[in-house]
Amino acid sequence: MINNLLNLEKKIQIKFKNKKNLLKSLTHKSFDSTNNNEKLEFLGDRVLGLVISKKLLELYPNDTEGNLDKKLAYLVNKNRCCEIGKKINLDKFIITGTSKQKRNNIVDKIISDTCEALIGAIYLDHGFLVVEKFINRLWQHHLQKSIKPQIDAKTKLQEYSLKKYKSLPIYKLLSSTGPKHKPLFKIAVKIQNSKFINATGYSKKDAELKAANLFLKKIGL
C-alpha cells in the first residue's frame, strides 16, 4: 500500500505531508462506507471550479459571462475529470470493495470522482497555491482548447429544437440497474415530430449527453 502511494506521489509530482489524506482520496465507498473519499470529492469539485474560474478570468478578461460559463462547463465536467484521472493512471490506485477486480473494470464515474477527491486532498494537505499549480498543469491542454467555446450535445440539441419547433427536448429515464456503487442509467430523448433515441451511462447526465449525441448524429448535426 505504501509503495502504491509513493508511486502515485511520483506520478502527480506532489509529496503528501499526511499520507492519510492521499489514502482517503483513493478509498471508494464500496470499500469503506464511512471513511471514504465522498467528502473530499465534494471539496475537490469546488476547488477545481474555483481554480479553473480564476484561470479563465486571467486568460479571457474581456469575455462575456455566458462564454466563460460555457468554457467552465467544458473544463470541469465529469468526462474531463475522467480523462485527467486516466492520464495519471488513477484507476491503478483506487481502492474499491472488490479489490480483486481487474483495474479496467473500474468505471469512468469512479475515476472522475476520485480525481476530484485527489484535488480535495491536495488542497487540504498543501493549500491553494499547490493545488492551483497541479490543476493548471494537468488541465493545460484543455485550457488551450477552450479558446473556442465547446458546446455539448445537450446544449446543441436544445438550441436546434428551440429554433425549429420552439420547444425543448424531452428526456425520459427508462431504467436504473446495477449495484448502488455502479448504477447504469438508460435514458431516452426526443424532440417534436421524432421518436425516442436511448443511450446508457454511469450517471444520468452522462446518459443524457450520449442520447443527445446519438440524436444529433441521426439528424446529421
Residues identified as active-site: 45, 116
Distance CA 22, CA 137 (A): 19
DSSP assignment string, 168-202 = --EEEEEEEES-TTS-EEEEEEE-TT---EEEEES
Nearest to 179 by CA among 96, 114, 85, 59: 96
Distance CA 142, CA 52 (A): 11
Q: Can you tell me which residue has the cell 484521472? A: 85
Please return the burial class of 67, using the count of CB atoms within 10 Å of its CB with bins 0-12, 13-18 and 19+.
middle
Decide: 85 and 114 in contact? Cβ < 8 Å: yes
Decide: 22 and 5 in contact? Cβ < 8 Å: yes
